[in-house]
Structure 1
Amino acid sequence: MRAKEKAKPVSRAALAGEADPRLVALSVSIQDDGALYAEDIRGSQAHVTMLAAQGIVPKAVARRIVAALDQVRAEFAAGKVRFDPALEDVHTHVERRLGELVGKDAGYLHAGRSRNDQVALDERLFIVAACDRCDAALERLQRAFLSQARAHEATILPGYTHLQRAQPVSLAHHLLAYVEMFGRDRERFAEVRRRAAISPLGSGALAGTTLKLDREAVAARLGLAGVTRNSLDAVSDRDSAIELSFACALAAVHLSRIGEELVLWTTKEFGFMTLDDAFATGSSLMPQKKNPDVGELARGRAGRALGDLVALLSIVKNLPLSYNRDLQEDKRPLLGGPDALVLTADAVAGAVETATFHADRMEEALGSGEALATDAAEYLVERGVPFREAHEAVGKAAAFATAQGRPMAKLTAPEWKGFHPRFEKDVLRVFDARKSLARRDLPGAPGPRQVRRELARWEKALGKRRS
């Protein structure tokens, strides 16, 4: 391009005159898709290498282009590329700079390729790498929970339903619930990665090309598992972007749940744990306060993740085949989600692994028998009483104890006998939380033997720490 020439948007290359500045402002995407420069350049290098192998581009030219693209990548990374709104997107910025480095030979690069299949490839490469980053962060998070669970096998506390004290569990069992959640999240990211790792390059604008491309060679060079099978679908498909956003959103919701518990458990009302000072903040006004910001931010980030998912679904919901410019708007909700998840997961992992859990306060919260009311009902079931009848009898005992201002564990054997004739003196043995846990020995239950098995299973599953 001559120095005095004004860049013309690629999307208006066949049109007369210049675009209205208002349309240019609306069309520009470089502020968002500029983040895909590395993926764009990687795809271009694989594409031109294939073109040379197929005899479509001279091999010497292809080598020059590949080397020049390495320089362009370095310039992007160093922040040396000046964004020009007239060039609209990352693809055009890369090609413009390539032209400055290798001259008209840069024109070979776009043979057999459209910006439609190019951006579809860029996004898929981004999604594959994003899934790997999210998986690694979630593994670190699992390790933090697993470490604390191993340290607190013997710590007991109330399990909750409706945020009301329900039945005794171990802290290890409670923490392992989050390990399970994040394990499912990791499975989802693996599934997203598998479906995303397919190359759309060669689909052209919508109908492929007459050039004899080797699509499989490009996919292999990029580390992808294969190629898309329908060109119309390939350039307009954003399923992988939506799936990635969904996986991020659900993982963020799980982080929000532990964030809520970090907030609750660190209050003086609960007093179950204390955050390390490195993962809390003070008040600008009240010097006595220690705020659990890490938990609050984890809750807040979930809202953003849910918004990204809804945005992506809304963008594609009414689009006819094939490519439509609406899809340009997918970058902002897609690109920020994975990094936000990684940052949140790492912060929560740090907060959990450095936290102090207060076993005495947790055990104290079990109270004096109310959390073992179900055990009393099951005592009767073991003696042949239908559960509904047993439930009613224990409910009457609970109401009586409340009216008397006495804990259920302090009711006498004759009093229990009055609520049901099948109660005997040994019913008083029911009101021992540790013995109650020991009896809960079904797979998946919080009994100590089962918890030890789950700890060992997860320690084996996670294996050695990644380097």
Structure 2
Amino acid sequence: MSTDRYQLWGGCFEEEPSDVLRRLNDSLPIDTRLFKEDIQGSRCWAKELFTSKHLSYEDYVKISEGLDKVEKDIEEELKQGGSLKDSEEDIHSVVECRLFKYAGDTALRLHTARSRNDQSATDTKLWMISSLPRLYSALCDLISVLVSRAENEIDVIVSGYTHLQRAQPVRWSHFLLSHGWALRDDATRLEEQSNRLSCCPLGSGALAGCALPIDRNRLANSLGFKDITQNSMFAVSSRDHIVEFLNWSSLCGIHLSRLAEDLIIYSSREFGIVRFSDQFSTGSSLMPQKRNPDGLELVRGAGGLLLGDAFAFSCTLKGLPSTYNKDLQSDKEILFRSYDRLLDCLKVTTGTMLTMKVDPEKALKSLEPEMLATDLAYVLVRQGVPFRRAHHIVGAVLRRASTLGVSLRDLPYQEYTDICPQFGTEEELRGTFSWVKSVEQYTSLGGTSRVAVDDQIKKLRTWLTKDN
């Protein structure tokens, strides 16, 4: 075998892997990202070998000091060039090769009773444990912006939509908070993953466990895990934590996509309710007047890509036999890609929301009297008319207004009473045609009245303060 690179295997091989296999097999460009976690795992593994009397103190010191130097070297190289030029196939081989340069034959003792199977699984979990809080923080930042806007713009009233048709007037804040609550649930789900994630696979070997007596609980504790995996075959093959994260990412991406879609619609000239800042808009190469919401369109598109990655990895896992198979190597590529994409989407959405301007006058113009049809039905309900009958009565009123070519507001009072005498006095009837009065009647928890929206704001602020 070639001595050009440091390999963790190959003693019984007479030929080198083909170039095309190496291109498919070598993962260093991807798993370089795990160099800190790989070194952290190696430090703790060396410590456990020493504590369990499988490694002398002198060798433990050499390995520990060598790993410190390797970590410093890699950090410097990545700062300067952004990638490693080593010829080894993965980050595990790179770390051990570089350790050999500093610690000599002592470095060959580091991998005692350890496999890349449990090593890689441990590295990935360590990376997730340290990295997922950044997503959580970015989610909280976006929710905080939504809550602040809801508080500041609570008097803005807009059309609420179902089926993309004008439905009922709502506070703009109520719309914003509807997305805030979805994202709050995303943050809660992300937190819930932490306990299942914090289960250490190191010490499971290739699949059968560790042949040397070690204390896996002590090892897990030194790495910052809360528990250990209870079955070595499960430990090296399970990627449930990655599937869970990818599925979570796709759901969060869907929530961001729906928010983006709403804002894109509201930013169109036909609506004109919002205007995005130059920082989060782009122009057209042909039409000088264009202001395109490309940032949010990319966020909307990313929702599909996140969903695709989640589905793709589940398909990879579906037909695998027990324990480790090389197919699992794709876990990190998809994990990192989804993580980076979602983090960028959260930041773009937050920036867009933070710098966006709302036009209350345009929002008001989107309202029309027919949106108060349900309010008219409630007038009759308060007079004792059953709602289903009231619904049909207001339907008759709408038909009559359409026949006369007038709005509900301009329909003569006599027309109302001719259809149903229980509409009350003309003053009471005309008082129904108030946007503020309309939204203020929805005082139940979760409603769009000021008091109900204030309650939502307070609850989300309390949650943000508690968890941050």
> TM-score scaled by structure 2?
0.94
Q: CA deviation at 1:351?
A: 1.2
User: Could you tell me which amino acid in structure 2 is paired with residue 408 of structure 1?
Assistant: L
**Aligned counterpart for 1:442 among listed residues 432, 438, 444:** 444
Closer/same/farther in 2, CA of residues 12 and 24 from structure 1, 3 Å limit: farther
Contact 2:32 2:84 in 1 (8 A): no
Q: 1:411, 1:319 → 2: CA distance? A: 69
Q: Deviations over 1:299-348 (max 9, x none)?
A: 12112211210121111111121111110122211112122211111121
Percent identity between the aligned chains?
A: 36
Closer/same/farther in 2, CA of residues 410 and 166 from structure 1, 3 Å limit: same
Q: 1:321, 1:430 → 2: CA distance? A: 67
Contact 1:413 1:424 in 2 (8 A): no
In structure 1, the partner of 2:339 is: 338
In structure 2, the partner of 1:420 is: 420
Q: CA deviation at 1:13?
A: 3.7
In structure 1, the partner of 2:35 is: 37
Q: CA deviation at 1:242?
A: 0.9
Q: 2:317, 2:466 → 1: CA distance? A: 41
Q: 2:266, 2:460 → 1: CA distance? A: 25
Q: 2:366, 2:217 → 1: CA distance? A: 62
User: Could you tell me which amino acid in structure 1 is paired with residue 57 of structure 2?
Assistant: K
Structure 1, unaligned runs of 5 or more:
none
In structure 1, the partner of 2:103 is: 102
The answer to whether the aligner puts 1:253 opposite 2:254 as a matched pair is yes
Q: Deviations over 1:386-413 (max 9, x none)?
A: 2222211112222322333211122222
Q: CA deviation at 1:121?
A: 0.6
Aligned pairs (5 A) from 1:30-429: 30-79=28-77, 82-84=84-86, 87-367=88-368, 369-425=369-425, 426-429=428-431
Equivalent residue of 1:173, what SS? helix
Equivalent residue of 2:339, what SS? helix
Closer/same/farther in 2, CA of residues 82 and 356 from structure 1, 3 Å limit: closer
User: Could you tell me which amino acid in structure 2 is paired with residue 445 of structure 1?
Assistant: G
Q: CA deviation at 1:8?
A: 6.8
Closer/same/farther in 2, CA of residues 194 and 254 from structure 1, 3 Å limit: same
Between 162-171 and 373-382, the greater mean CA deviation after superposition: 373-382
Q: CA deviation at 1:381?
A: 2.2
Q: CA deviation at 1:244?
A: 1.0
Q: 1:309, 1:316 → 2: CA distance? A: 11
Between 114-123 and 402-411, the greater mean CA deviation after superposition: 402-411
Q: Deviations over 1:215-250 (max 9, x none)?
A: 112211221111011111111000111111111111
Closer/same/farther in 2, CA of residues 392 and 213 from structure 1, 3 Å limit: same
Q: CA deviation at 1:208?
A: 0.5
Contact 1:139 1:462 in 2 (8 A): yes
Q: 1:453, 1:22 → 2: CA distance? A: 61
User: Could you tell me which amino acid in structure 1 is paired with residue 248 of structure 2?
Assistant: A
> TM-score scaled by structure 1?
0.94
Closer/same/farther in 2, CA of residues 233 and 448 from structure 1, 3 Å limit: same
Q: CA deviation at 1:20?
A: 3.0
Q: 2:361, 2:232 → 1: CA distance? A: 63
Contact 1:294 1:347 in 2 (8 A): yes
Structure 2, unaligned runs of 5 or more:
none
When the two chains are superposed, the root-mean-square deviation of aligned CA atoms in Å is 1.9
Between 443-452 and 342-351, the greater mean CA deviation after superposition: 342-351
Q: 1:22, 1:10 → 2: CA distance? A: 20
Contact 1:95 1:106 in 2 (8 A): yes
Q: 1:444, 1:407 → 2: CA distance? A: 30
Q: 2:85, 2:404 → 1: CA distance? A: 77
Q: 1:403, 1:348 → 2: CA distance? A: 46
Q: CA deviation at 1:365?
A: 0.8
Q: 1:199, 1:233 → 2: CA distance? A: 12
Q: Deviations over 1:284-304 (max 9, x none)?
A: 222212211221111121122
Contact 1:117 1:202 in 2 (8 A): yes
Q: CA deviation at 1:142?
A: 0.8
Equivalent residue of 1:169, what SS? strand
Contact 1:37 1:73 in 2 (8 A): yes
Equivalent residue of 1:408, what SS? coil
**Aligned counterpart for 1:432 among listed residues 411, 431, 434:** 434
Q: CA deviation at 1:268?
A: 1.1
In structure 1, the partner of 2:25 is: 27
Q: CA deviation at 1:118?
A: 0.7
User: Could you tell me which amino acid in structure 2 is paired with residue 439 of structure 1?
Assistant: Q
User: Could you tell me which amino acid in structure 1 is paired with residue 451 of structure 2?
Assistant: R
